[in-house]
Amino acid sequence: MADAKVIPFDEDRPRRRGADRRAVRAVPGPAPAPDAEAGPEAGTPVPGGPRDGADGAPSGPRAGAEGPGWERRLASGLAFLRRRITGEYEVDEFGYDRELTDQVLMSLMRPLFDSYFRVEVRGVENIPAEGGALIVANHSGTLPLDGLMMQVAVHDRHPAQRHLRLLAADLVFMLPVVGELARKAGHTLACAEDAQRLLEAGELVGVMPEGFKGIGKPFGDRYRLQRFGRGGFVSTALRAGTPIVPCSIVGAEEIYPMVGNAKTLARLLGLPYFPVTPTFPWLGPLGAVPLPTKWTIQFGEPIATDGYPPEAAEDPMLMFNLTDEVREQIQHTLYKLLVQRRSVFF
């Protein structure tokens, strides 16, 4: 298989906005969408959904296409495979492969999002339609599925279909297969330099400051936010002059109720924790199946940072106050959503 063309990150922006017409001609575009008879299982946009035009008809080059739906899907799949084999696709310097993410990875996560966890998304209008923004969310669930569901929520529910670039821990990129897929999906190391570059380039960046303290906390501490670190995410947003969007996720805490932590085994395996749940490890691989809880993801009102002077990023008191403001807003929204929730599963 040929190697993909790696382009500098700064050059990636115009290509993704469609400004480089030569790139569009060089690589075959997506095939038209399936017709109405194919049904939603074939990928037909739902009228009025986030991937449709204002009049409820499918938008983009797929609208008005003719011919059998299976032929178009087959042609699109073959064109995708040809580009994979010949290397006629692009990745940025972080390893992000937008075509693979849109065509494959997002498609794999949508059944979990739409049918299994039945995620309800609120406040997506608080995410800017363009330009950089830092989305800060609570972290929970033993395995970091909440970050993936937030990524789908931003792309599928936002009118601009924006892509979220998540900041992940070093351990993620040390795992075989998982690390490579994380890079392909647009995730990068949780370091201030990479985050600032992405924000200044107009990307949406997602961060979960609780880290392993959040996803590895016992079930008795569910929905109680852990420490948010030293406020490095606030400093990054201040330097880039981008807004901070708080995000609260309810439902992830119960997918793997963590009732114990095998610390000795965790140290032997080099893991931050080894979870013990009512089903794992007692049921073996079957115990790794998450419980089908009902999720709600709410994006809060953005907190502006562009009004502060450049030296504000070095002010520890300001960083502490903004960090506390973000944390309090997320925690308050979590409590509010929990009061409104009638059932964990329905």
Give the pLDDT of residue 84. Answer: 86
What number is the average pLDDT over the span 139-155?
Answer: 95
The crossing angle, in degrees rounded to 10, of helices 192-200 and 232-240 is: 30
SS3 for the chain is CCCCEECCHHHHHHHHCCCCHHHHHHCCCCCCCCCHHHCHHHCCCCCCCCCECCCCCECHHHCCCCCCHHHHHHHHHHHHHHHHHHCCCEECCCCCCHHHHHHHHHHHHHHHHHHHCCCEEECHHHCCCCCCEEEEECCCCCCCHHHHHHHHHHHHHCCCCCCEEEEECHHHHHCCCHHHHHHHCCCEECCHHHHHHHHHCCCEEEECCCCHHHHCCCHHHCCCCCCCCCCHHHHHHHHHCCCEEEEEEECHHHCCCCCEECHHHHHHHCCCCCEECCCCCCCHHHHHCCCCCCCEEEECCCECCCCCCHHHHHCHHHHHHHHHHHHHHHHHHHHHHHHHCCCCCC
In this predicted model, what pLDDT tens digit does every residue of 78-127 receive, in sequence order?
Answer: 888 888 888 888 888 899 999 999 999 999 999 999 999 999 999 999 99
Q: What is the pLDDT of residue 311?
A: 87
* pLDDT at residue 148 is higher than 90: yes
Inform me whether the pLDDT recorded for 60 exceeds 70.
no
Cβ–Cβ contacts within 10 Å for residue 272, how many? 16
Query: What pLDDT is recorded for position 3?
Result: 58
pLDDT in tens, 191-209: 889 999 999 999 999 999 9
Q: 181 — alpha (psi -120 to 50), left (phi > 0) or beta?
A: alpha
Write a three-state SS string for 265-308: HHHHHCCCCCEECCCCCCCHHHHHCCCCCCCEEEECCCECCCCC
């498609």: which residue's tokens? 107
In the chain, the domains with their CATH numbers are 98-255+290-340 (3.40.1130.10)
CA dist 247 → 22, 126, 193, 195 (Å)? 39, 10, 23, 18
Retrieve residue 124's tokens: 């997506």
* Mean pLDDT score of the chain: 83
Strand partners, 165: 205
pTM: 0.78
pLDDT given at position 297: 98
In this model, does residue 313 exceed pLDDT 50? yes
Distance (Å, whole) CA 151 – CA 314: 30
Looking at the chain, the whole-number percentage of residues with pLDDT higher than 70 is 80
Q: Which residue has the tokens 């330009």?
A: 131
Task: Summarize pLDDT for 203-246 with one digit per residue, the tens.
Answer: 999 999 999 999 999 999 999 999 887 778 999 999 999 999 99
Determine the pLDDT at residue 186.
93
Using the predicted structure, report yes or no on whether residue 150 has a pLDDT greater than 50: yes
Q: Are 234 and 322 in contact (CB under 8 A)?
A: yes
pLDDT digit string, tens, across residues 271-282: 999 999 999 999
